[in-house]
């Protein structure tokens, strides 16, 4: 039997890039205009990007087995989000991070598994990022990947994309984040991660 997990909603292509103090000042001065500047043309390159589907009030999720809907508790998707520590460069020498990309492209995405003998929702394994403090929004979940029975989907279908707008670049002060987390602050929920105080006399490299 064919198992399909389908999501229609907002896709996102977001990147967390370590940046220098010089680039942080450039972003503070120019805002979204940095997307068209040569120093930041690399924002979509490398392994820092997180591409996926937003799990929010506007997404529509349907799970079917051989075309027939099956019961599924959608709360399972966001029950165990991944820790952000791996992507936040907290153990590196990086001073700042910048959030770049988009999170509002309407599209349809499906994960499909062949030869499924029976459906058990507990066999789903969802790779979800929670970026509440990164993006400054409560319950900001990104569905990155799904496995069923320990197996990645046989096929992925992505279609019906309808355009997007780029987010305003946001700079995060890693020194402040490290201090907060050392003092027991949450990685997921709470106030947005702090931005650096960048002024004319602030000359961090």
Per-residue pLDDT at 17 exceeds 90: no
Residue 64 maps to a domain: yes
Segments forming the whole domain that contains residue 11: 3-182
191 assigned to some structural domain: no
Tens digit of pLDDT for each residue in 169-186? 999 998 888 888 888 888
Domain for residue 168, yes or no?
Answer: yes
pLDDT at 72 over 80: yes
Q: Looking at residue 140, what is its pLDDT?
A: 94
Tell whether 192 is covered by a domain: no
At a CB cut-off of 8 Å and minimum separation 6, what does 110 contact? 4, 5, 6, 7, 155, 156, 157
**Confidence bin at 16 (pLDDT 50/70/90):** confident
Alpha-carbon distance of 109 to 98, in angstroms, equals: 27
Q: Is residue 121 part of a domain?
A: yes
b or e along 116-141 (b: 16 or more beta carbons within 10 Å of the residue's beta carbon)? beebeeeebebebbbbbbbbeeeebb
Which has more confidence, 136 or 44?
A: 136
Tell me if 197 is assigned to some domain. no
Is 171 in contact with 97 (CB distance < 8 Å)?
yes
User: What one-character-per-residue DSSP string does 92-108 give?
Assistant: SS--EEEEEEEEEEEEE
194 within some domain: no
The answer to whether residue 25 is domain-embedded is: yes
- 35-39, 97-101, 129-133, 185-189: segment of lowest average pLDDT: 35-39
Domain count, the chain: 1
* Per-residue confidence (pLDDT) for residue 39, from 0 to 100: 58
Which of 196, 95, 190 is CA-nearest to residue 134? Answer: 190
pLDDT attached to residue 121? 95
197 against 29, higher pLDDT: 29
Tell me what pLDDT residue 40 has: 58
Q: Specify the pairing of strand 96-113 against strand 155-159.
A: antiparallel
User: Is the pLDDT reported for residue 23 higher than 80?
Assistant: yes
Q: Which residues pair with 1 in a beta bridge?
A: none
- Look at the alpha carbons of 36, 40, 45, 51 in this order and tell me if their dihedral is positive or negative: negative
Euclidean distance between CA atoms 125 and 54, whole angstroms: 17
Rounded CA-CA distance 201/198 in Å is 8
């Amino acid at each position: 039997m064919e198992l399909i997990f389908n999501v229609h909603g907002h896709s996102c292509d977001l990147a967390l890039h370590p940046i220098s103090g010089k680039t942080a000042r450039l972003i503070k001065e120019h805002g979204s205009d940095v997307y068209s500047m040569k120093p930041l043309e690399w924002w979509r390159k490398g392994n820092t990007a997180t591409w996926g589907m937003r799990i929010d009030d506007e997404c529509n999720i349907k799970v079917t087995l051989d075309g027939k809907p099956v019961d599924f508790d959608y709360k399972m998707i966001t029950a165990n989000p991944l820790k952000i520590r791996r992507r936040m460069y907290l153990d590196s020498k990086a001073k700042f991070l910048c959030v770049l990309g988009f999170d509002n492209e309407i599209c349809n995405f499906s994960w499909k598994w062949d030869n499924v003998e029976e459906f058990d929702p507990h066999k789903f394994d969802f790779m979800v990022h929670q970026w509440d403090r990164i993006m400054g929004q409560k319950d900001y979940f990104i569905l990155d990947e799904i496995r069923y029975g320990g197996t990645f989907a046989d096929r992925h279908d992505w279609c019906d994309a309808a355009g997007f707008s780029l987010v305003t670049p946001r700079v995060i002060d890693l020194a402040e984040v490290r201090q907060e987390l050392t003092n027991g602050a949450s990685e997921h929920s709470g106030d947005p991660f702090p931005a650096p105080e960048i002024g004319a006399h602030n000359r961090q490299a």
